[in-house]
Structure 1
Amino acid sequence: MVRILYLTAGIIALTLGFIGVFLPLLPTVPFVILAAFCFARSSPRFEAWLLDHRHFGPPIHAWRRNGAIPRYGKWMSTAMLGGSGVIGLFLLPGYWRFVPISVAVISGLWIWSRPDA
């Protein structure tokens, strides 16, 4: 039963990661790393496929080795977080407009604190 839950969570995480390729507000790499974590506990075949994937594999390997994030990923996430924060400043009412910018700053600081892959 636990294996099925991990497999389901992995498929959902991978789907969200794929959607994140096209939506700037949804991150891709964290969901792909989560999917690899779930597949490692549920399906060695899916885990191997994800680790061998041309685009998704290298960030997972870098994360597993030393918690590293590729510099390109850091720049892209910073740009997307910044864009989302600015959009929130203009579209949200009152003090809610500061929530996206706060999340962007906190997330960006954490991302840039990780080693480069």
Structure 2
Amino acid sequence: MPEHIPLHRHRAVRYALLTVGWLCVVLGVIGIFLPVLPTTPFLLLAAACFARSSRRVYLWLISHPRLGPWIRDYLHGKGLPLKAKVYAVSLMWASIALSCYLVALPWARAFMLISALLVSLYILKQKTLPTRRASSNNAHDKQP
């Protein structure tokens, strides 16, 4: 539990964060079933929104039996699934490419490209979780 993160003081901001958080949970759940929609980034964003708006909802999310492991793995420094990294970086670069095409200002394009490069490096530097199939095989190997 991120106790060092205070709840936002303004009620309107807390409600906005709750709304964005729930939207991200919905998109993350849809992403479990649709391969083009990333699950992990949406759940991480939802956790960040809930941590600043509602401790009760944050605790529910990170302790959820299906959704919680994605968030807990990241929070405990275990990393992100490879699929999440690929989706996050790919979709970010696709949206940046479209934005650069639509924006005519050279300084704005440069800002977007530098930001995308830095975010990509951050995502790629994160640990990569082993695939679930590989980790389940290892668990069976350890049992007598």
- Name the TM-score, length of structure 1 as normaliser: 0.69
Tell me, which stretches of 5 or more residues in structure 2 are unaligned?
1-5, 31-36, 130-144
SS of the equivalent of 1:90 reads helix
Matches within 5 A, 1:34-113: 34-35=48-49, 37-38=51-52, 42-43=55-56, 46-51=57-62, 52=64, 54=66, 56-66=67-77, 68-95=79-106, 96-113=108-125
The alignment partner of 1:66 has SS state of coil
Instruction: Calculate the TM-score normalised by the size of structure 2.
Output: 0.58
- Identity of counterpart residues, as a percentage? 15
Structure number, greater radius of gyration: 2
Q: Tell me how far 1:107 sits from its aligned partner.
A: 0.3
**Once superposed, which parts of structure 1, at least 4 consecutive aligned residues long, lie more than 6 Å away?**
none
CA contact under 8 A between 1:16 and 1:31: conserved in structure 2?
Answer: no
How far did residue 3 of structure 1 move?
5.5
1:33, CA displacement in angstroms?
2.9
How many residues are aligned here? Answer: 109
Q: Which consecutive unaligned segments of at least 5 residues does structure 1 have?
A: none
Query: Which protein has the bigger helix share?
Result: 1
> Over the residues paired in the alignment, what is the CA RMSD in angstroms?
3.3
**1:48 Cα offset (Å):** 3.9
CA displacement at 1:5 relative to structure 2? 4.3
Q: Distance in 2 between matches of 1:6 and 1:38?
A: 11
Q: Which residue number corresponds to residue 14 of structure 1?
A: 21
Specify the code of the residue in structure 1 equivalent to 2:48: L
